Chains A and B, each alone.
Chain A
Amino acid sequence: MKKVLPIIVVAVMVLSIVGYCFLGSNIGKNSGDYEVLRIYNWEEYISESDTNKIEWNDYVSGEYTLSEDDEYIDVIYLFESYCRQVLNRNVRVEYSTFGTNENMYNELNLSKKEVGGSVSYSYDLVCPSEYMLLKMIREDMLEPLDRTKITNYDQNSSEYIRDLFKNQQISCEDGSTRSLYDYATCYMWGTMGYVYNPEHVAEADANHWSLLWNDAYKGKGTIKDSVRDSYILAIGYVYQEELSALKAKYDLGELTRAEYNAQLTAIYNRTDKESIERVGKVLTELKDKIYGYEVDSGKKDMAQGKISINFAWSGDAVYTMDVAEEEGTYLSYAIPEEGSNIFFDGWAMPKGANKELAQIFINFISTPESGCMNMNYIGYTSSLAGDAMFENAVDWYGTYVLVKADTEDEDTVLVDGELYYEEYFGDLDQTTRQSMLNADGTYNLIYPVYDDEYNVIGKEESENVTLYQTDLSYFFNTVATDSPDYDNKAYILWTDQIDRQATTQYPSEDMIARCTVMKCFSDDEIRELNDMWETAKVGNVSLVTILIVLGIIIVLIVVAIVLIKLYQKDLIKFSFGHKNLKFISSSEDKK
């Protein structure tokens, strides 16, 4: 018995562990109580809240209160509640997150199961970046979308983004060419550029990629510890003249926007030997000119003022600006003149996914309401457009003013004994705007002062305010310009801040014209780029450093050898001492 019991215990332990590993993921799926939707998303990439778990019916009727210290609603819980209360289905979301596209890809491939010729992975919905989506399409890992099931996305998403997705195509192993549009819906998108502190960095310098190579800013900036992102920066610097010439041509109208963007894209996607070599050279040079490489710490360091320049994704830039603002620092964001990268993260269903449920989720997340919630939480720009999303942008960044009212009605407020109504500057009529305009193009405005609940409680008169108007129609139109439904509505954002959060989240058409999508590199290209990157990160190997380090190590080894020699001599000289030790250690043994 004594022999059997431990074996049984151990066997049970091992079997339960193994069993859990292999079957654990299927237990939920097979049980009739609820359906499981397994979502795999970026970290911090959906509106989450521990306290604000709100039921769908309450949300629709508006009968809910948010907790005091958290203004965000838990979207996942809202979705589960939506399934329960509207679809009458018991759905449980298993939500996991990843840190890099490559990690997601590895994880997905590790979970690959092939049963009877049908492939399945352990997730129903993933949200990687566009190049990874293309790679997955190339490797036939994704299920195509059923457009009749994701009507919300097609109605609410920006026509501009959908067009970009249609243009992203990849040739697959079976010889077909597939489009990203058929496999993924865009969730968030953004650009890359410099976040900088205008107190220390000249705006004119920040408008060029050469900023970080400028000796005036030595040791002040960081770049991404990732070859794909840093390649953009370096290409922009290496081909600065070519890119500037191209832009000049476009500005003069010699090139159409499409031609300009096509040529720009070709330059940014160069992976010939010469380009890689030149990029490697400038990146090696860069190592001694920057503060360091970072993946995540740049946001914090920037907000705390440890660095003044951060090569960043636009969403992180918005976050950094928000945090810095709380500490009284006003940062700016620039997309350099030479052009930059535009990227997308999209929802796609791996092979073998629960397509029906996954598409319900995509449809759910593609409503303007959840678009606003997620965008406000994350900081990246939602792919959703239309009136509701534009209003959200206006709420955040638009300039609101107080205008004198003649008659009292429900919209007017009494401030300092006078009647006013509060209005978004863009909604004012032409004559009212003219009355505020000065001869030099600035405006004299009366800003409202709010209490905690955004009720107007006072006013603040401001003279000579510069207002910027950005035409965002290119993005906020959800209907194709050649479609009969197209109503040619102008979405113009009036704001008193430039190069800050508003411009970062919604760049003007000019800025977006010079942003290009990086292609999905082949394995060979990745390997070459990675070799270049590893060498560049090692930097200029200086002989002096090697010699100093080598010198220190040699000294250490010499000291060690001398010590050992001392010890060994000791043994020879005092051989009886050694016997003594022997005696003592054997006596110790007896204890």
Chain B
Amino acid sequence: MGKALKFSRKNLGIPYFLFLCLFVIFPLLLIVVYAFTDGNGSLTFANFIDFFTKGSNIYVLFISFALAILTTAICLVIAYPVSYILARTNMKAGSVYLLLFILPMWINFVLRTAAMKELLFALDKLGVYNITDWYFANTVIGMVYDYLPFTILPIYTVLIKLDKNVLEASSDLGANKVQTFLRTTLPLSLPGIVSAITMVLLPTTTSYVISDTLGNSKVTIIGKLIENQFNIGTADSWHTGSAISLILLCFIFGTMLLTGKFNERPNQRGGGLW
């Protein structure tokens, strides 16, 4: 019986395995193959050399990561207290508030971005904002607005699961509220923070819809560079585009390894999405 169950369990994984092969591994391999070949299909490193020898590309890379880090930081600063408060309020009210915060997630994000643009225009008309010149700020606001729910949710999930006994133990051992927070709650919620970072950092370097709509296309992020390569229609543009994607992937992977380092804790199980 036990054996048969084990087999069917394994079989249940087959659809996902096929999905993984078809839609994750295969495309990734394609990107790698494209990145290291030119329009004629011969092996080359030119795509990478070209990318790093062009000054504007380095600047785009810098701006993309600056934007991503800024957005992630602001998201965390806003999301952490919110999740903390939400996790501490009694269940019924808490879930209603949580719903309010993640409600925007159910609305199409292009629509949300367009709505944000209208809002900023209204502010501009009132004279408290300058939508034309502050295009970088527009983009950051838009990114924060769109990715805030993705930050709140993982942190909230971790905080709500936090054992009250630990906190009690902390105060029993003589820690005041601030100390309890800094030494117990914050470290224990790190997995949530890391998942939040993972969910925000990568998309913000590539979601050029926001930078196009709110940044009036004046902010070029790396996702836009990739899109552009896939749109110019020369024989080797797909190869250049793939190389840029691969470079981005490497950078993101590096960042993830770094954030992962902070998250290495003994006996850590579950909690985060990662």
* Interface residues of A, Cβ cutoff 8 Å to B: 2-3, 6-7, 10, 13-14, 100-103, 105-106, 219, 222, 225, 227, 287, 291-294, 297, 306, 523, 526-527, 530-531, 534-535, 537-539, 541, 546, 549-550, 552-553, 556, 563-564, 566-567, 570, 574, 577, 580-582, 584-586, 588-589
Contact = CB atoms under 8 A, between A and B. Distances in A.
Nearest to A580: B169
By secondary structure, the A interface counts as helix
Contacts of B8: 2-3, 6
A537 B208 CA distance: 14
Contact of A297 (B14, B70, B213, B268): B213
B183 A570 contact: yes
B123 interface: no
Given A291-B132, A539-B218, A549-B66, A534 B12 contact: no
Contact of B62 (A294, A546, A580): A546
B56 A535 contact: yes
Interface residues of B, number: 58
Interface stretch (B81-89, B149-157, B199-207, B232-240): B232-240
The binding surface of chain B is classed by DSSP as: helix
A45 B262 CA distance: 54
29 contacts: A3-B11, A7-B11, A10-B18, A14-B18, A100-B231, A102-B232, A102-B233, A106-B233, A219-B132, A219-B133, A222-B216, A292-B218, A294-B217, A306-B121, A523-B234, A530-B228, A531-B54, A535-B54, A538-B220, A549-B63, A552-B66, A553-B69, A567-B182, A567-B187, A574-B183, A577-B170, A584-B169, A588-B163, A589-B269
Nearest to B65: A553
A553 B186 CA distance: 21
Contacts of A106: 230, 233
B106 interface: no
Contacts of A546: 62
B257 interface: no
B55 interface: yes
Contacts of A537: 217-218, 220
A572 to B, nearest CB: 12
Interface in B232-256: 232-236
B197 to A, nearest CB: 11
Contacts of B228: 530, 534
Given A6-B11, A292-B135, A577 B70 contact: no
A293 B267 contact: no
A227 B69 CA distance: 30
Query: What 4 pairs across the A-B complex have the smallest Cβ distances?
Result: A292-B216, A102-B233, A293-B217, A219-B132
A586 B267 contact: yes
Contacts of B182: 566-567, 570
A219 B133 CA distance: 8
B7 A10 contact: no
A541 B183 contact: no
A526 B11 CA distance: 50
B102 to A, nearest CB: 25
Nearest to A101: B233
A539 B215 CA distance: 14
A552 B72 CA distance: 13
B262 A577 contact: no
Interface in B112-164: 121, 132-133, 135, 163
B232 A287 contact: no
Contacts of B213: 297
B40 to A, nearest CB: 12
A6 B39 CA distance: 42
Contacts of B187: 567, 570
A564 B228 CA distance: 40
Nearest to A545: B136
Contacts of B12: 6
A291 B213 CA distance: 12
Contacts of A552: 66, 70
B217 A535 contact: no
Contact of B186 (A6, A100, A227, A563): A563
B16 to A, nearest CB: 10
A522 B239 CA distance: 17
Contact of B218 (A101, A287, A297): A287
B4 interface: yes
Contacts of B215: 292
A3 B7 contact: yes
A556 B76 CA distance: 12
B15 interface: yes
Contacts of A586: 267
Contacts of B59: 538, 541
B225 interface: yes
A538 B184 CA distance: 45
A556 to B, nearest CB: 5
B266 interface: yes
B234 A527 contact: yes
A212 B108 CA distance: 34
B218 A534 contact: no
Most buried by B among A13, A534, A539: A534
A534 B11 contact: no
In this complex, which of B213, B234, B266 has the most chain A Cβ atoms within 10 angstroms of its Cβ?
B234
